[in-house]
Chains A and B, each alone.
Chain A
């Protein structure tokens, strides 16, 4: 790796040096924040993924130092490698913003938008994408394509209606199982993810397709309709598993484990694949050794109402001394010296019933 030359690339006016062969998307992810284009089909853990959804389109305003011509078309940043001196515009390009809004519209054309009854709601990449990059309405006035729900074995249910055909589950099955038994049938807008015919997916690692699915097309049958993800507390936990690393995220409510998923990084990508046994069969908190709460920073709705990364009581910050450059407020008069109520030595919570002057008077005596 040491002899790979470093290329300087400027994305949205932020320069960064990355090794040759890095894609624009990955360079932008190193910078992070809004600069990183959204990706619905690209998955860094899956070889060959990407280039399909077109949400990561960016404008290359300068090809490279040697050949400064801009690229004539918007390029898919997940599959275009950087060149030395390349200048890329993502959110600073109106063309990109416009194109991305169109792509979102396309992706939503045949999507049922059944978020209120969808288990993926709250952790759905398509939801995030449409909120961040979409328009507030559709111009599509025709019937949407529909499919029947399908059971792919005893753990996974397929809602083809919601699928955006990112091919991630196909690559996953190709790359982590020996034999893929599902794939894309048909073509165009009637193509579908399917097993031929009505087979079940029973590889021990096939549960990971649920995690890689950016939408609610593949859902966990042991968790369906049990709870909303934002009511659950994600906790890192592990167990001694003979098949996989056993490092998972538990989704708890109280002590009850509602579901088990793989740990996902800040881009929503699985860190380590986990086996079906860990995912579906170990739903008791005694099965797991809890490591601590998982920090969820990307899907804000899940972190709503949860502790912000710390355990225990979080005190509000005192602003007075902060705005007075560290000076403490000066106490002009202690109210307790003139008032008979609000005495500091009386614990209001230990008084039976509402506080009364008698409580204070009797205390004085």
Chain B
């Protein structure tokens, strides 16, 4: 049984409300941070913890905080990225829906560390019922003196605003999110300048995922070094995995990144195996924009080592024989599922959600969807050269989505080969 940091109290009845949350030891980190620590000490603590961004890219959170520019007289902002739109990922929803105070608590500490007096939660438009939960939590925190003016008598002011998105996947990209927050069309900006220098309204801004901010709470409570002891290597702490697909027990699990993928899928503590005794065919281990892995490469790396559920092990082998931890959307396909069809439905998603700013993604995702549909219907002449062409187009340099497009090209190729090899062709 791995250690739980975030979801430890998730099943306590009424944890959604301030009183129960406080009784269970909530908001200790705010008291500790605001009363006994300086801003730099908190950033240092987060750096020590080795916490990596939980939104997908896995960039060290402490480092990101360290980059924030601190010009005199210019307000800074912390923005919580709750625009969780990746197909297969629903960990943030769980967190916000059931223990909203954990996020609020993390936000207060992080706002203090970064000097943000106006902090925003940018929440996905489709999560229509969650803003109410968050706003209630914010109101409760405010009523109890943890938000607003002069928090706990320390002189630190902070307000948290919930901003609802309008339902665009691209607004999960941090610069697009900032544009959208400013009220503009959510197109990604060109970096540099990075948000840490010039973000929302041209002010220094840090954008962090919900889970990253929630993880700040145990880091402050227990210390960065304690946090770093959990997990392995550079994958420190615990990670929420939202498991779905052909498994007996889909849901959100907190893992400590030392368990193997095989254990995660088959043990009763986690996914509980595949229903009806079917065999595992393939798996997308980190949300829909990471490469899909066939069963043999999922459980063992290309070198024959056991693959573990952590950042390094999942990406072992690069994009050729490995995948990524991504945002933790774990999608399992059993032997009855068609990889091509699955890839088609994801390609359709990306086509629909492409912002259309950069030409490779705008044109490429639509093409890919059409090719996949024809492939699925058995009419494609199997133009593998197209697949190569798309993946070779080296679209990586574009701000965000073409990076995804690149995966798609590879997927297309990979899913065709996978489907062929599994059918004994």
Contact = CB atoms under 8 A, between A and B. Distances in A.
A103 B365 CA distance: 13
Interface string B165-179: 000101000000000
B302 to A, nearest CB: 22
A191 B356 contact: yes
B185 to A, nearest CB: 7
Interface string A140-167: 1010000000000000000000001101
A187 B354 contact: yes
B190 interface: yes
Contacts of B360: 54, 102-103, 106
A88 interface: no
B360 to A, nearest CB: 5
B395 interface: yes
A365 interface: no
Interface stretch (B74-82, B97-105, B259-267, B385-393): B385-393
B359 A107 contact: yes
A102 B393 contact: yes
B211 to A, nearest CB: 27
A188 B366 contact: yes
A354 B37 CA distance: 109
Contacts of B397: 54, 57, 73-76
Interface in B338-367: 351-360, 362-367
A103 B359 contact: yes
A164 B351 contact: no
A60 B390 CA distance: 22
A124 interface: no
A105 B393 CA distance: 10
Contacts of A74: 394, 396-397
A72 B403 CA distance: 13
Contacts of A73: 394, 396-397
A53 B359 contact: yes
A99 interface: yes
Interface residues of A, number: 36
A308 to B, nearest CB: 36
Interface in B44-61: none
Nearest to B403: A73
Interface centre among B355, B386, B395 (most CB of A within 10 A): B395
Contacts of B359: 52-54, 103, 106-107, 164-165
A189 interface: yes
A351 B362 CA distance: 70
Interface string A54-88: 10010000000000000011111001000000000
Interface string A171-203: 000000000000110111111000000000000
Nearest to A142: B370
B125 to A, nearest CB: 14
Contacts of B364: 106
Interface centre among A79, A184, A188 (most CB of B within 10 A): A188
A189 B362 contact: yes
A98 interface: yes
B110 to A, nearest CB: 30
B357 to A, nearest CB: 5
A188 B351 contact: yes
B363 A54 contact: no
A139 interface: yes
Interface centre among B364, B366, B392 (most CB of A within 10 A): B366
Interface in A85-138: 95, 98-99, 102-103, 105-107, 109-110
A79 B359 CA distance: 16
A239 to B, nearest CB: 39
Given A53-B358, A102-B393, A189 B366 contact: yes
A184 B394 CA distance: 26
A72 B362 CA distance: 23
A50 interface: yes
A51 interface: yes
Contact of B356 (A79, A103, A165): A165
B383 interface: yes
Nearest to B380: A141
A52 B386 contact: no
A184 B356 contact: yes
B221 interface: no
A184 B190 CA distance: 18
A105 B392 CA distance: 13
Contact of A189 (B168, B190, B354, B390): B354
Given A103-B360, A187-B355, A142 B367 contact: yes
Contacts of B365: 188-189
Contact of A99 (B352, B367, B394): B394
Given A106-B393, A188-B355, A165 B385 contact: no
Interface string A308-339: 00000000000000000000000000000000
B134 to A, nearest CB: 27
A112 to B, nearest CB: 14
A51 B386 CA distance: 25
B210 to A, nearest CB: 24
Contact of A95 (B170, B358, B385, B394): B394
Interface centre among B355, B366, B397, B398 (most CB of A within 10 A): B397
Contacts of A187: 168, 170, 353-356
Contacts of A51: 190, 358, 399
Contact of A107 (B363, B389, B396): B363
B394 A106 contact: no
A139 B168 contact: no
A95 B386 CA distance: 17
B190 A79 contact: yes
10 contacts: A98-B392, A99-B393, A102-B393, A105-B389, A106-B362, A187-B168, A187-B353, A187-B355, A188-B352, A189-B351
Given A102-B390, A106-B364, A188-B352, 9 more contacts: A50-B190, A74-B394, A102-B393, A102-B394, A103-B360, A142-B367, A165-B357, A183-B185, A188-B362
Closest 5 CB pairs of A and B: A102-B393, A188-B354, A191-B356, A106-B363, A189-B366
Interface of A: 50-54, 57, 72-76, 79, 95, 98-99, 102-103, 105-107, 109-110, 139-140, 142, 164-165, 167, 183-184, 186-191
Interface of B: 168, 170, 185, 190, 351-360, 362-367, 370, 383, 385-386, 389-390, 392-399, 402
